[in-house]
Homo-oligomer: A and B are copies of this chain.
């Protein structure tokens, strides 16, 4: 099996964008292709992550459509949908394809618009997001995603004594990181008091515990050795990618706070990379709600089970902490244009591993981990990137 590397990265600002999807995506794709030194004729395949384009703006068959718009017509194009893990799924398949030699160079993209730029307001968008919960058993109850993660987090509070203050500290950290990221949707700090004073969305989450609706695009160029040898980008090695699922719906899960798919995907990725959690220098993870970050740092083995809240409050995951988590600002502050989120995590890690992350650079980072979760904790994809130091 060949190795795989990320040879180029690009992304738009996350926030509100009025361009149609092909134009929005082109901004990220051309940046990634330029970064890789990849002309259109060296791209062998295009793997797209877009979660909801059909529902939000009547736009499907998007992989070949976007490819055609950026001059790639002809090559095989595939759209992946895996709820919020959508472009990580595309990334995983690209890594597998170049490792196998099926393709030498694959462009992986993610794009989504979730703001009123689509013509849809928050209630309609919330209902569309809820299509990723269980159609027969969850949607009829009125459960939407703040509720899904509220249930998981409430159980964690019950079992482990996690508090609303612990959760608020995570929002404060990620907002602080976001102020150092010019592409973040929220470039302003917040405080524990402001979080706890914000209105309840779905208990225990208040407005400032929740990530926003966002528009944005991201892209990465993935290559094997043969592909990378034709490119000029500074390569970062993909040391492991794990992908696991869990039983759906929530009511059937053996353990509500384990997020078992994350544990299984992390275990696969660590094994492929030949490392453990203590070897990771920087983490981008799926903090769609502050409570999701608590569950994720435990599932990834970065802290002991039950310690996610207190460890966060102690600053262990801060930019200058023991293990920096979400230096980009995370979904919470950077934003969460669903299909773009997974590939954007890879973009952020690559910038840290290259030493190009500017004010938010994690010093001497040589191993990065991305954790991207889909649906009601039904899917997780964990990717580990490395550079030699």
User: Which A residues contact B (CB, under 8 angstroms)?
Assistant: 1, 20-22, 51-55, 57-61, 63-65, 67-69, 73-83, 89, 92-93, 96-97, 99-102, 127-128, 130-136, 139, 243-248, 252, 264, 374-375, 378-379
Contact = CB atoms under 8 A, between A and B. Distances in A.
Contact of A61 (B92, B244, B264, B375): B375
17 contacts: A53-B131, A57-B135, A59-B131, A60-B81, A61-B248, A61-B375, A64-B82, A68-B248, A68-B252, A68-B378, A73-B247, A73-B248, A74-B245, A76-B243, A77-B245, A79-B82, A96-B102
A44 to B, nearest CB: 11
A60 B54 CA distance: 11
Contact of A51 (B52, B60, B127, B244): B60
A360 to B, nearest CB: 31
A245 B67 contact: yes
Contacts of A76: 92, 243-245
Contacts of A89: 78
A92 to B, nearest CB: 8
A52 B51 CA distance: 11
Contacts of A97: 96, 100
A65 B22 contact: no
A65 B249 CA distance: 8
Top 3 A-B pairs ranked by shortest CB distance? A100-B100, A61-B375, A61-B83
B61 A132 contact: yes
A264 B60 contact: no
A299 B115 CA distance: 42
A127 B57 CA distance: 12
When all copies of this chain in the complex are counted, the total is 2
Nearest to A21: B135
Nearest to A77: B245
Given A61-B133, A74-B245, 18 more contacts: A1-B101, A22-B136, A54-B55, A55-B55, A58-B127, A58-B135, A59-B131, A60-B83, A61-B132, A61-B248, A61-B374, A64-B82, A68-B245, A68-B248, A75-B245, A97-B100, A99-B102, A100-B102
Q: Which of A53, A132, A139 has the most chain B CB atoms closer than 10 A to its own CB?
A: A132
A252 B68 CA distance: 10
Q: Which of A65, A135, A243 has the most chain B CB atoms closer than 10 A to its own CB?
A: A65
Nearest to A129: B60
Contacts of A1: 101
B79 A81 contact: yes
Contact of A93 (B59, B78, B379): B78
A359 to B, nearest CB: 36
A59 B64 CA distance: 23
Nearest to A85: B61
Q: Which of A22, A75, A93, A133 has the most chain B CB atoms closer than 10 A to its own CB?
A: A93
A49 to B, nearest CB: 11
Contacts of A130: 58
A101 B100 CA distance: 8
A71 to B, nearest CB: 9
A9 to B, nearest CB: 23
Q: Which of A61, A102, A130, A379 has the most chain B CB atoms closer than 10 A to its own CB?
A: A61
A54 B128 contact: yes
A100 B22 CA distance: 32
A375 B80 contact: no
Contacts of A135: 20-21, 57-59, 65
B93 A100 contact: no
Contacts of A51: 60
Contacts of A61: 81-83, 131-133, 248, 374-375, 378-379
